[in-house]
A = this chain, B = another copy of it.
Amino acid sequence: MTEAPSEGMTISAAAEASGLSVDTLRYYEKEGLTLHRPERSSSGQRRYTEQNVAWLGTLVMLRRTGMPIRDIKKFVELYRVDGSEADRLAILEAHRRHVIEELAEVQTHLEAINRKIDYYNEKVMGR
Q: Give A contacts to B, CB under 8 Å.
A: 58, 60-61, 64-65, 85-86, 88-89, 92-93, 95-96, 99-100, 102-103, 105-107, 109-110, 112-114, 116-117, 120-121, 123-124
Q: Are A124 and B86 in contact (CB under 8 A)?
A: yes
* CB-nearest residue of chain B to A117: B92
Q: Are B110 and A100 in contact (CB under 8 A)?
A: yes
Determine the chain B residues whose CB is within 8 A of the CB of A105 once the complex forms: 64
What are some 8 contacts across the A-B interface (CB < 8 A)?
Answer: A60-B109, A65-B106, A86-B124, A89-B121, A92-B120, A96-B110, A99-B106, A99-B109
A120 vs chain B, min Cβ distance (A): 4
Complex Cα distance A93/B121, Å?
Answer: 11
Q: Are B92 and A113 in contact (CB under 8 A)?
A: yes
Determine the chain B residues whose CB is within 8 A of the CB of A100 once the complex forms: 110
- Given A61-B112, A85-B123, A107-B103 contact (CB < 8 Å): yes
Complex Cα distance A78/B69, Å?
Answer: 37
Taking A96-B114, A103-B110 as given, write out 11 further A-B residue pairs in contact, using a Cβ cutoff of 8 Å, ordered by the A residue number. A60-B109, A64-B106, A65-B110, A85-B120, A92-B117, A92-B120, A96-B117, A99-B106, A99-B109, A99-B110, A100-B110
